[in-house]
Amino acid sequence: MQRRTFIRAAASLALCPALTLALAQPPADGYPGKPVTIVVPFTPGQSGDVLARTLSDALTRQWGKTLVVDNKPGAGGTLGSKTASLAPADGYTLLLGSSGPMVVAPHLYKNAGYDPRKDFTPIMNVAGVAQVLVVAADSKYRTVQDLVAAAKAAPGKLSYGSGGAGSFQHLTMEMFKQRAGIDLQHVPYKGSAPAYTDLIGGQLDALFDSQPGVVPLLQSGKVRILAVSTPQRVPSLPQVPTVAESGYAGFDALGWLGIVAPKGLDPAIRDRLNADLKKALAADATKAQLASMGMLPIASSPDEFARTIDDELVKWGAVIKAGQISLD
């Protein structure tokens, strides 16, 4: 009896290392076992869509598994964001989260359909997009100070355009107005193209837009950039001062694009995705694509991205409250 008990105990002990190893195997070891989808809450061809497809190609090469981009535009990016938030938290549905839907829309809509803090798992803040303050090439305003002085001399007379009420362009200018203590008339458009038509034609005095959207017009000599919205100058526009340098210390309006998943994603899969995204961003083809779009690589950790979302929610909430802006 004692001999049989000893044999059973020895057999159990022999199995312990194998059992321990099995328990220690992270779920990410078999990930991804099937195609992964990135939901992009914007139309095809926009800079966010191009970034998602660039990452998709890089990750597909790493994994040997297909990564599909699924465009779900509408309601300022909230439609696709809500759709992604309701997907299973298994790593097979990801969202291209950006500053508009993630930290602006929740303040503008009474019910965006999701909570950026509670409904998503931050994976990586991938890249930043500078906003640039633009005037027509023949404008009399050659510096930020010129524009501010004119606005103060004629409150409410100067106008600025945006791609729509509540857009990041609109809110960046609202932040600038509040910091500079000026009053400008807002003219919202259905997209940037008609706003540029009126800017170049002299019906608008200025506007903020993302750097990628401005480059073609800058190259054709139709517009002039007065300043960039980032804390430091951007490498692709080294001669252009920041808004902060122009007299408004601390001004920071960086649009950003990152990858999130539905809340509850296994930490092992989250960390695997973060590591693989870093490899994708380190690839020469990816770096070249970001540079061509005027994007600034960030490649944050999940915790850093979570803090960014928290901080940005507070910052843009204050701008929206001070400007009494609402879309409902």
pLDDT of residue 116: 96
Q: How far apart are CA 84 and CA 262, in angstroms?
A: 7
Q: Note the Cα 149 to chain centre separation in Å.
A: 32
Helix (H, G, I), strand (E, B) or coil at 288: helix
pLDDT of residue 20: 39
Q: How far apart are CA 196 and CA 202, in angstroms?
A: 10
What value, to the nearest 5°, has the Cα angle with vertex 52 and ends 71 and 170? Answer: 75
Q: What is the DSSP string of 119-187?
A: SEEEEEEEEEEEEEEEEETT-S--SHHHHHHHHHHSTTTSEEEESSTTSHHHHHHHHHHHHHT---EEE
pTM: 0.86
**β-bridge partners, 131:** 210
Q: How far apart are CA 295 and CA 130, in angstroms?
A: 7
Helix (H, G, I), strand (E, B) or coil at 13: helix
Residues 6+ apart with CB under 8 A from 112: 78, 81, 82, 101, 105, 106
pLDDT of residue 292: 85
pLDDT of residue 28: 64
Residues in the chain where the model's pLDDT stays below 70: 1-28, 328
pLDDT of residue 10: 45
Q: Note the Cα 237 to chain centre separation in Å.
A: 20
The residue written with tokens 């750097």 in the block is: 211
pLDDT of residue 80: 96
Q: How far apart are CA 126 and CA 277, in angstroms?
A: 8
- Could you tell me if 155 and 219 are in contact, meaning their C-beta atoms sit under 8 angstroms apart? no
pLDDT of residue 249: 95
